[in-house]
Amino acid sequence: MIDKIKIGIVICDRYSSCAGGKCFRSFMNREGAFSHYQGKEAEIAGYTSCGGCPGGNIEYAPEEMKKNGITHIHFATGLLVGYPPCPYMEHFESFIREKYGLKVVFGTHPIPEKYYLTHMAMQTWNTPFLQRAIRDTLCDSMCRLRYD
C-alpha cells in the first residue's frame, strides 16, 4: 500500500494574511508544482509563514510538520514572484533537507501571468537557482491567466 503524501506549505511572511486560495485550488487541480501528485494520494497537512526575513520560522516549523507526518515542504509561489523573490530560499532548502530530511519543492500554484510578464521583462529569474526554482510553476499563458 502506498502511503499518503503529506504536504506542508510555507508562505512568505509578506503575505501572512493570505488564505491560500490559489494554493488550495492548484492542489485540487494538480496544477503548478502540485502536478507532481497527479494520480497520487496526497493532502495538505500544514500551512505557515516563514516568520519574516530572514525566515526565523524555518528553524522550527519543519520539525513540527515532520512530527505530524509531513514529508514534502512546498515554498509557496509567493516566495518566487514577490518583489524581489525571497533571497533565502536556497538556504532554506539546504537547511530543511539537511536538518529534517524532508523533500523541498519550490512553488505551489502556477505563476500568475501578471507576475510572469513583469519578472520576464525585469529578467529577475535569470540565475541558475531561480530558473530551477520556478520550473514547476511555469505553465502556458492560459493556465497563468487563470491565476491572475
- Nearest partner of 111 among 80, 132, 74, 75, judged by Cα: 80
Per-domain boundaries in the chain = 5-146
pLDDT at residue 131 in the model:
97
Distance CA 17, CA 54 (A): 18
CATH, domain 5-146, list 3.30.1300, 3.40.50, 1.10.287, 2.30.30: 3.40.50
Tens digit of pLDDT for each residue in 17-60? 999 999 999 999 999 999 999 999 999 999 999 999 999 999 99
For residue 3, name the pLDDT band (cuts at 50, 70, 90): confident
pLDDT at residue 1 in the model:
45
- CA dihedral (81, 82, 88, 89) positive or negative: negative
Distance CA 35, CA 74 (A): 12
Distance CA 115, CA 98 (A): 31
Q: Specify the pTM.
A: 0.94
